[in-house]
Amino acid sequence: MKTKAVCIILWFVVLVTAQAQRFGKALKETPGVVSYTFRNSFQKDVALTLDSVKRMGFTNIEFSNLFGRRAADIKAMLDERGMKCTSFGTNYDDLLGKTTQVAENAKALGASFVRVAWIPHDNTIPFTVEMAKKAADDFNKAGKQLKEQYHLTFCYHNHGYEFVDYEKGTLFDYLVANTNPDYVSFEMDILWVAHPGKDPVALLKKYGPRIKLMHVKDLRKGVKGDFSGATPVENDVALGTGQIDVAAVIKAAVKYSAIENYYIEDESKEVNVQVPVSFAFLKGL
C-alpha cells in the first residue's frame, strides 16, 4: 500500500509539473515571434532587441532578415540567451538563385524551416495561373534540394493574392495540388487568409497536414480586404481585438494541422504595446 501511495504521489507531481510547463490550455508550447515584428529595433541593435524580446516571454524567433550580421553571429547571441531560431525567411529570387547560401544560413541559425512569403508579381494586377504554375515548379525544385541536401523543410507563406478564383477553387488550391508534399509545405498567415475573405478554419480542415507553420495575426475590425496582398500596417491589431476568431483558428490548428511552430507577427508601429497583449491572449486560450 505504501509503495502504491508513493507511486500515486509521484505520478501527481509529474502531471502537475508537466501542466505547469505548458504555455496554456490550447497551445502546449510558447509561441515564437517573427523578427519582422521588431525589424526597426533589430536593424539598430540585434543583441539588445533579443534581450527585449526575451523579456516579453519569447525564446523562439523566425528570422526573415539577418540585419547585416552573419548567421553564425546571431546563433551565438541566441545561444547566450537560451533562445532559438526555428525558421529562416528568404525571398523568392534568393531561394532559386542562392539556394546553397540560403540553406547554409538556415543551418547556421539552427533553423529547420526555410520560407518564402511573396511570389514576385505586380500586385496591382490579378495573380494568374501562369504565375502559380511557375511558382509551383520553382518550389518543387528548391524544396527538393533543401530537403535532400540539407534536411530543411521549405514552406510557402500565403499572402492573400493566391485566393483568387480558379476553376472550382482558388489558385491557392492550385499551389497545394501542384506541389510535392515531400518537398513543399505551407506557413499559414491567418491575416492573409482572412483579408481576401477566406476562412482560416476551413483551410486548416482542408489542408492541415500540409501546414507546418503559422503566423498568428489579427485584422482590424471593419477593414474590407481584397486580393492585393497589401494593407496599411495600422490594420495589424493585437490578437483578440480584431475581426478574426483567433481562438477558433488555434483550436482548428491544434486539431487538424501539422503545425510545429506558431509565431506572433505584428507589422504595426505599436508592437511594444500590442505584442504583450497578443502573447497574453494566446496564453489565456
Q: 12 pLDDT exceeds 90?
A: no
Q: Indicate whether 16 pLDDT > 50.
A: no
Structural domain includes residue 107: yes
- Count of structural domains within the chain: 1
Q: Are strands 169-170 and 165-166 parallel, antiparallel or unpaired?
A: antiparallel
User: Quick check: is 136 in a domain?
Assistant: yes
- Asked if residue 90 has pLDDT above 70, the reply is yes
- What span, in angstroms and rounded, lies between the C-alpha atoms of 188 and 195? 13
The answer to the question of residue 159 being in a domain is yes
Q: What pLDDT, in 10s, does the model give residues 207-237?
A: 999 999 999 999 999 999 999 999 999 999 9
Pairwise CA distance, residues 40 & 124, whole Å: 27
For the segment 129-152, the average pLDDT, to the nearest whole number, is 98
In a domain, 17, yes or no: no
Beta strands in 75-162 (DSSP E): 84-90, 113-116, 153-157
pTM of the complete model: 0.92
- What gap in Å lies between CA 253 and CA 100, rounded to an integer? 32
Give the mean model confidence (pLDDT) for residues 64-78.
Answer: 97
Tell me if 199 is assigned to some domain: yes
User: What is the percent of the chain with per-residue pLDDT over 90, rounded to a whole number?
Assistant: 91
Mean pLDDT computed over every residue of the chain? 94
What pLDDT score was predicted for residue 72?
98
Distance CA 186, CA 199 (A): 16
pLDDT of res. 228? 96
Q: Which residue has the higher pLDDT, 7 or 168?
A: 168
Q: Determine the Cα–Cα distance for residues 285 and 273; give it in Å rounded to an integer.
A: 20
**Residue 11 domain flag:** no
pLDDT for 123 equals 85
Q: Say what the pLDDT of residue 21 is.
A: 74
Domain assignment present for residue 14? The answer is no
Among candidate residues 160, 156, 163, 159, the one with its CA nearest the CA of residue 184: 156
Q: Is residue 1 part of a domain?
A: no
The mean pLDDT value for 198-203 works out to 98
Q: Residue 194: which domain range?
A: 23-283
**What CATH number has the domain bearing residue 30?**
3.20.20.150
Query: What is the structure's pLDDT at 15?
Result: 36
Q: Which residue has the higher pLDDT, 1 or 171?
A: 171
- Is pLDDT of 18 > 70? no
CA atoms within 13 A on the CB side of 253: 27
